Amino acid sequence: MRFQDAAKDARAVVYAGIQADPLVARLAALAADATYPQRLMARAVMNGESTDPATWRAIFPTVLGPDAPERERAEALLAASLEVAGRGEQARSQYRGAFVEELTEILVRRRVGAAAGPAVRRERRILFDGVVAEIHPYDLTVEAPGRAEAWDCKWGARGINADVLNQLDDARRHAAEEEAGLRVGLVVYDVRTSCAVRLAGQTAPRQGTVVVTLEALDALAGKKPA
């Protein structure tokens, strides 16, 4: 088993520009230390239904109200989320995807530690001897000996489909055949119920695939969900 940078096509070049936007890093840094209610608020805002902050303060009084705990971070998260919501539909979708990837990287780096930090990579393919390589790269990989991981990141449960489930399971099986060991998973910035409903309609193998939902994001950093 070995890892390789993904080829840079036109789509990847455009998307790389969005990934490098300071807004993505700022939003992910805020969400990394946010509470579950704050993260849930950010998801609702980034869906773009309203760009009026007063609307969201009324909808989430326990997060954004005058007596809400950690209100300063919640307000900063609201402001950054509104910046995403204000983008056009296509750009908004890309920013949300880049945000989930950035957040996943921050949390995974906290778990693997500074010493293994260089092993955490983005947009990488996994190659196996005698197996045709997948075109689609993994959003995030951990390339440390004995603790390799491959993660795909999705904004919502609708991003869970047979293609991604099959690719993750194929990688896990091929790694096992090479006695390499590979943890594979999906990070979905959506609630557990929505993901469960989506997964129930899938027939692709997923027994060996970890699914991390909005409620359990802190598990990526090695913490037990609150």
Span 75-124, pLDDT tens digits: 999 999 999 999 988 899 999 999 999 999 999 999 998 877 789 999 99
Mean pLDDT of the chain: 93
Position of tokens 């409903």?
197
Helices (H), 36-191: 36-46, 53-59, 61-64, 71-85, 89-112, 162-177
- Looking at residue 192, its pLDDT comes to 98
Q: What is the pLDDT, as a whole number, of residue 225? A: 58
User: pTM for the whole thing?
Assistant: 0.94
Beta bridge partners of 212: 187
What pLDDT sits at residue 224?
72
168 pLDDT exceeds 90? yes
What phi and psi values does residue 69 have, to the nearest 5 degrees?
A: -70, 145
> pLDDT tens digits for 35-78?
999 999 999 999 999 999 999 999 999 999 999 999 999 999 99
Model confidence pLDDT, tens digit, residues 147-165 = 999 999 999 999 999 999 9
**What's the rounded Cα separation, in Å, for the pair 210 and 173?**
14
Q: In the numeric block, which tokens belong to residue 84? A: 């995403």
Q: What is the pLDDT of residue 7?
A: 78
Q: What is the pLDDT of residues 135-144, one digit of tens each?
A: 789 999 999 9
Contacting residues for 97 by C-beta, under 8 A, at least 6 apart: 153, 154, 155
Checking if the pLDDT of 226 tops 60, the result is no
Q: Are 142 and 115 in contact (CB under 8 A)?
A: no
Say what the pLDDT of residue 133 is. Answer: 77
Rounded to whole angstroms, the Cα distance separating 131 from 127 reads 7
Q: How far apart are CA 203 and CA 194, in angstroms?
A: 17
